[in-house]
Each structure stands twice: as structure tokens, then as C-alpha cells.
């Protein structure tokens, strides 16, 4: 292996030829990542260079330009930086069997940083990305939607939370709202996520009912003033997206609102996530609007919003 330890960007610029990088370029990337791992992860001044390397790697992967052996060698040069002691390592190893599990998502909400000094900088690097920032922004966005439902239905606001995950957004909202007449029906396919969220939201158990259920088998038995789902529909193909949306629309109470989160196709962290096999169906505003129209929603009842990072879009459907 070459002994290059500085960032290989200049080297990449000279030799970066698609479809296949030379063995020398692959060696230089391995050496660079080994160097970062040995120094205890990237410093903020190195983020931009590292992100450039990440985007090049992601592009090679999309184009099938790396052999499995090359990709394995590049990944393993990161050592413990891709163990489950880091969030990026958890994303890669998927200890709960799927990408975006409740534990990773709650580590994002809580800005988890490994207490191992040689790994902490990797978690800080992870959190510097737009995608985790967008996830954290979901909490206040959710609160604003719940608050709005409460104002519109002060006697009793019924909310359906599809794929409720760790329940952190509900916990934070209920901490602010207190014991107001806001009631959540929550659905998740992962029993461990439900147990975790139940414990987290134990103080508000009178306001929350959990259902352990796959959304594809779920048929709403009542109507809701707010139907919310974040971090779910961007795992669906267009066909599945529409299938689930069509089933939800009749459950909107008159004047109710349905809000579906979906990562934007402008997500700057897309390449980084792909390196850990965290694959989403990124969509544009127009695409989301079209999917709603395909389900029979009148254009006047569709709006698209986003959180401050501009990465998590929200499809709003007015009932
Ligand atoms: C990325 S997390 C989002 C959690 C939460 N909505 C949030 O934004 O914090 C995705 C959650 O969706 C759940 N999930 C994925 N596919 C599902 C399905 N088909 N039916 C029900 N839940 C599902 C997972 O178990 C996981 O808890």
C-alpha cells in the first residue's frame, strides 16, 4: 500500500477516472482513511476534504466502479470507526436488522457522542452532516404540527403517529404541551421500538396508545385530526407510498391534516449514507406533489414544506 497520508484529493483530481479507479488511487484512499482513524477521527477543519472523498467513493459505488474486495479494504481501513461504538458503524451493521432503527434515530436526536476518545470525533463528524441535523429539526416541526392540531381541536385532538420509532418527538412535544387533551395512536413494526418509546413516554401513558403492527396491514379504525409520519415513506417505492397513502386518506377527520416526511433529492448527506447502505428514496417537491395527486388529492389541498436544513421535506394534505 502507498504511504500517502495527506488527503488524496489532489491525487484524485489527477487520476480520478471513471469507471474504475486505479489500484494506486484506491491505495491512497485506504491510507488516508487509516491516517484519520489513527489520529482519532477527523477534525472539523478536515470535514470538507473527507466529504469530498466520501462523495467520490459514493459515486464509484453507484457506478459499480469498485470491486467488492476494494470496497471491503477501504471500509476496513477505518477500523473501529465503523464498529457499533459509533453511529456510522451502527448504521452500517444495523443491529436491529434495518436502516434507521429507533436506537440510531434516538442517538441522532440526543447528539450521542462515543465516550471512547479515539471514536468521539467520528460521531461529531456524523452529527455535522445535514441529514442528522434535519432529523433533529423534526422535533420542533412535529411540535408545531401537534400544537396546531391542539389549537384547532382544543376539546380533543386525535393524532396518528405512523412508525413512531423511539418516541422522542412525542416525548418532547408532551413535555411542552403538558397534560393537554392530545391523544396519540402510535404504530411501529418493531416491538423493541415500542417498548423503548413506552418507557420514554411513561409519564404520558394516558395519552398514548401503541400498536405493534406493520403499516401495510394497518387499517385505521377511527379518524384523526393529524396523521403524521416521518422517516417511513422515504423507504417506500412510489407504488408502496401510494398504497399506504390511499389507505390513510379516508382516516382524515374533516379539516384534519396529513403530514408525511420524505428526504429531499437535494440531501447533501446522500453519499455518506449510501456508504453505510442507508438507502432512501429521495424525492423532490414536485414528485411528492405528484404522488398525492395520483392518490386523488386535489392540488389545492397539497402543500410542501421543509425544516430549516431543507433536507426533510413534508408533504401536507388538507382533509
Ligand atoms: C427512521 S425511524 C423514524 C421514527 C420516528 N418517526 C421519528 O421520526 O423519530 C423508522 C421507524 O419506522 C418503523 N417502520 C419501518 N417500516 C415499517 C412498517 N412497514 N410498518 C411499521 N413501522 C415501520 C421502524 O421500526 C422504525 O421504528
For residue 315 and ligand 1, the question of a CB distance below 6 A is answered with: no
Nearest alpha carbon to residue 66 among 9, 27, 118, 110? 27
For residue 307 and ligand 1, the question of a CB distance below 6 A is answered with: no
Residue 265 lies in a domain: yes
Residue 98 lies in a domain: yes
Residue 4 lies in a domain: no
For residue 189 and ligand 1, the question of a CB distance below 6 A is answered with: yes
Looking at the fold, whether 143 and 234 belong to one and the same domain comes out as yes
Looking at the fold, whether 112 and 17 belong to one and the same domain comes out as yes
At 3 the pLDDT is 44
Question: Of 80, 110, 129, which marks where a domain is finished?
Answer: 129
For residue 214 and ligand 1, the question of a CB distance below 6 A is answered with: yes
CA distances from 149 to 51, 119, 252, 262 (A): 40, 42, 12, 21
At 25 the pLDDT is 87
Looking at the fold, whether 205 and 299 belong to one and the same domain comes out as yes
Quote the ligand 1 centre to 111 CA distance (angstroms): 19
Query: C-alpha angle with apex 49: 44 to 53, nearest 5 degrees?
Result: 130
For residue 232 and ligand 1, the question of a CB distance below 6 A is answered with: yes
Looking at the fold, whether 189 and 212 belong to one and the same domain comes out as yes
For residue 164 and ligand 1, the question of a CB distance below 6 A is answered with: yes
For residue 170 and ligand 1, the question of a CB distance below 6 A is answered with: no
CATH number for position 254: 3.40.50.150
Work out which ligand 1 atom sits closest to the CA atom of 228: 6
Quote the ligand 1 centre to 99 CA distance (angstroms): 10
For residue 108 and ligand 1, the question of a CB distance below 6 A is answered with: no
For residue 106 and ligand 1, the question of a CB distance below 6 A is answered with: no
- Which residues of the chain form beta strands (DSSP E)? 157-162, 182-188, 208-212, 224-229, 252-263, 302-306, 312-318
Looking at the fold, whether 269 and 194 belong to one and the same domain comes out as yes
Looking at the fold, whether 104 and 222 belong to one and the same domain comes out as no
Quote the ligand 1 centre to 82 CA distance (angstroms): 23
Residue 2 lies in a domain: no
For residue 169 and ligand 1, the question of a CB distance below 6 A is answered with: yes
Looking at the fold, whether 302 and 165 belong to one and the same domain comes out as yes
Looking at the fold, whether 96 and 228 belong to one and the same domain comes out as no
At 275 the pLDDT is 95
At 20 the pLDDT is 72
At 237 the pLDDT is 98
List the 224-229 sheet strands across, edge first: 208-212, 182-188, 157-162, 224-229, 252-263, 312-318, 302-306
Quote the ligand 1 centre to 138 CA distance (angstroms): 14
**Residue 290 DSSP label:** H
Residue 287 lies in a domain: yes
Question: Of 129, 153, 179, which marks where a domain is finished?
Answer: 129
* Alpha-carbon span 109 to 92, nearest angstrom: 18
Beta strand pairing status for 252-263 and 224-229?
A: parallel
Looking at the fold, whether 259 and 186 belong to one and the same domain comes out as yes
pLDDT values of the chain reduced to their tens digit, one per residue, 319 residues = 434 445 566 556 555 555 678 888 888 999 999 999 999 999 999 999 999 999 999 999 998 989 999 999 999 999 999 999 999 999 999 999 999 999 999 999 999 999 999 999 999 999 999 999 999 999 999 999 999 999 999 999 999 999 999 999 999 999 999 889 999 999 999 999 999 999 999 999 999 999 999 999 999 999 999 999 999 999 999 999 999 999 999 999 999 999 999 999 999 999 999 999 999 999 999 999 999 999 999 999 999 999 999 999 999 999 9
Residue 282, all three cell numbers:
429521495
Quote the ligand 1 centre to 79 CA distance (angstroms): 30
Question: Of 99, 129, 159, which marks where a domain is finished?
Answer: 129
Work out which ligand 1 atom sits closest to the CA atom of 99: 1
Cell 484519520, residue? 36
Work out which ligand 1 atom sits closest to the CA atom of 135: 8
Residue among 166, 189, 194, 312 whose CB has most ligand 1 atoms within 8 A, to mutate: 189
Q: Structurally, how many domains does the chain consist of?
A: 2
For residue 280 and ligand 1, the question of a CB distance below 6 A is answered with: no
Helix axes 168-177, 130-152, angle to 10 degrees: 40
Q: How many CB atoms lie within 10 A of CB 82?
A: 22
Looking at the fold, whether 113 and 155 belong to one and the same domain comes out as no
Residue 312 phi/psi, 5° resolution?
Answer: -95, 110
Looking at the fold, whether 149 and 187 belong to one and the same domain comes out as yes
Looking at the fold, whether 153 and 91 belong to one and the same domain comes out as no
Residue 3 lies in a domain: no
At 2 the pLDDT is 39
For residue 174 and ligand 1, the question of a CB distance below 6 A is answered with: no
At 36 the pLDDT is 96
CA nearest ligand 1 atom 4, residue: 165
Residue 109 phi/psi, 5° resolution?
Answer: -55, -40
Residue 1 lies in a domain: no
Owning domain of residue 200: 132-318
Cβ(231)–Cβ(135) under 8 Å?
Answer: yes
Amino acid at each position: 500500500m502507498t504511504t500517502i497520508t495527506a488527503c488524496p484529493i489532489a491525487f484524485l483530481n489527477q487520476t480520478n477516472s471513471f469507471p474504475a479507479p486505479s489500484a494506486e488511487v484506491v491505495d491512497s484512499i485506504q491510507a488516508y482513511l487509516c491516517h484519520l482513524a489513527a489520529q482519532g477521527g477527523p477534525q472539523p477543519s478536515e470535514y470538507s476534504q473527507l466529504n469530498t472523498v466520501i462523495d467520490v467513493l459514493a459515486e464509484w459505488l453507484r457506478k459499480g466502479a469498485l470491486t467488492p474486495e476494494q470496497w471491503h479494504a477501504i471500509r476496513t481501513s477505518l477500523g473501529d470507526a465503523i464498529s457499533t461504538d459509533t453511529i456510522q458503524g451502527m448504521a452500517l451493521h444495523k443491529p436491529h436488522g434495518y436502516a434507521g432503527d429507533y436506537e440510531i434515530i434516538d442517538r441522532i436526536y440526543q447528539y450521542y457522542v462515543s465516550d471512547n476518545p479515539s471514536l468521539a470525533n467520528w460521531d461529531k463528524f456524523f452529527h455535522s452532516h445535514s441529514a442528522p441535523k434535519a432529523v433533529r429539526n423534526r422535533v420542533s416541526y412535529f411540535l408545531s404540527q401537534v400544537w396546531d392540531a391542539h389549537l384547532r381541536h382544543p376539546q380533543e385532538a386525535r393524532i396518528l403517529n405512523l412508525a413512531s420509532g423511539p418516541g422522542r418527538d412525542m416525548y418532547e412535544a408532551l413535555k411542552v404541551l403538558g397534560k393537554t387533551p392530545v391523544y396519540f395512536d402510535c404504530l411501529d413494526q418493531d416491538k423493541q421500538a415500542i417498548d423503548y418509546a413506552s418507557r420514554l413516554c411513561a409519564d404520558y401513558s394516558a395519552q398514548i396508545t401503541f400498536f405493534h403492527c406493520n403499516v401495510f396491514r394497518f387499517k385505521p379504525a377511527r379518524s384523526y385530526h393529524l396523521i403524521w409520519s416521518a422517516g417511513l415513506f422515504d423507504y417506500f417505492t412510489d407504488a408502496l407510498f401510494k398504497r399506504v397513502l390511499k389507505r390513510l386518506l379516508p382516516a382524515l377527520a374533516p379539516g384534519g391534516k396529513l403530514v408525511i416526511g420524505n428526504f429531499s433529492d437535494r440531501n447533501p448527506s446522500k453519499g455518506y449514507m449510501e456508504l453505510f447502505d442507508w438507502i432512501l428514496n429521495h424525492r423532490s417537491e414536485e414528485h411528492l406533489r405528484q404522488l398525492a395527486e395520483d392518490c386523488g388529492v386535489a392540488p389545492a389541498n397539497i402543500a410542501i414544506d421543509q425544516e430549516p436544513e431543507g433536507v426533510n421535506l413534508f408533504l401536507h394534505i388538507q382533509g
